A and B are shown apart, each in its own frame.
Chain A
Amino acid sequence: MRRSLLLGGVVAAVVFLLATAGGDLAGTDGQAVAEIEERSPTYDRWATPAWAPDATGEALLFALQGGVGAVLLGRYLDRLRASDGDAPDA
């Protein structure tokens, strides 16, 4: 369990660094939107997200996603390492 949390922390840190380091790089999702706007300038965006985080919040939520995923990954790999796949300490 401790190892899984450590793995989660490391992954979360890496994801956070990547998300902030890549902050000034245009994401391809955004580039696709730019392409749409160039192609159809009159297109009316008919829905917007109810809530959107700022850049730091976004990086943190990405880190949360990666960290939670890594903790679960470590936990269940521990279970698989145990013979019956259902280790009590996992």
Chain B
Amino acid sequence: MHIMEGFLPPVWAVVWTVLALPFVAYGARRTLSAVRTDPRTKALVAVCAAFVFVLSALKLPSVAGSSSHPTGTGLIVVLFGPAVTAFVSVVVLLYQALLLAHGGVTTLGANVLSMGVVGPFVGWTAYRLVRPRLSLERSTFVAAAVTDWTTYLVTSFQLGLAFPAGADPGGVLASALDFAAVFTVTQLPIGVLEGLLAAAMVGYLCRLDTLDGSRVGVAS
């Protein structure tokens, strides 16, 4: 879902960066205050951030002959909400842009908005919707899968806006669907895998007695 360096026209690079900035700033504040509350919360934030770091490094092959990787953001969405996710995503995306040439500095805003803001926000909303009816693990599965898939849909939409098939809104949509088709085959199973891993991690944290079930998801 990394839009590569230089592959967004300057105007869109600026638009997405400006849109992402307030979420990242707010997320940084939320992250700092969460870290300050108590050592347990600090350790939980660290576990979440490390989880994103590990999962987003997994380059997974797919049957379609292409490869992609999880975003890893589902766990942090469930435990701390989308704001903290936005901040952690910036750190991971900067590492990958500067050291791996995956993504880029000019496309950082767009990538942060998909992986750190909109995807997590939709996943978090899905979590809130299903949580009253499903167990914590199952709700986390839903949240992580939805977060992953939405992230890639947002990327497709961003590329569709920048490279529309026609001048009208229909051209943007048609183009966005074409880009979505590139990601779909690989990302559908990866989203399911992400859901399973995030659910397993939340279940494990619960068994460690570190999570007070009532607090999960309302920490943000």
Interface residues in chain A, defined as those with a beta carbon under 8 Å from any beta carbon in chain B = 11, 14-15, 18-19, 21-22, 25-33, 35-36, 39-40, 43, 45-49, 51-53, 58, 61-63, 65-66, 68-70, 72-73, 75-77, 79-81, 84-86
Contact = CB atoms under 8 A, between A and B. Distances in A.
A69 B76 CA distance: 14
Given A25-B66, A72-B50, 15 more contacts: A15-B57, A26-B65, A26-B66, A26-B67, A27-B68, A29-B2, A39-B175, A45-B6, A46-B10, A47-B105, A47-B106, A49-B5, A52-B100, A61-B99, A73-B50
Contacts of B127: none
Interface stretch (B16-24, B116-124, B137-145, B181-189): B181-189
Contacts of A65: 53-54, 56-57, 95-96, 100
Given A19-B59, A62-B57, A49 B182 contact: no
Given A43-B163, A53-B100, A86-B39, A80 B54 contact: no
Contacts of B52: 69
A63 B2 CA distance: 18
B50 A76 contact: yes
A39 to B, nearest CB: 5
A52 B67 contact: no
Contacts of A15: 54, 57-59
B58 A29 contact: no
Contact of A33 (B7, B10, B62, B187): B7
The 10 closest A-B pairs by CB, nearest first: A69-B53, A85-B40, A52-B101, A47-B6, A66-B57, A69-B54, A72-B50, A73-B50, A49-B101, A86-B39
Interface residues of B, number: 60
B49 interface: yes
Given A27-B59, A53-B99, A68 B163 contact: no
A30 to B, nearest CB: 8
Interface string B30-64: 00000000111011101101111110111111100
Contacts of B113: none
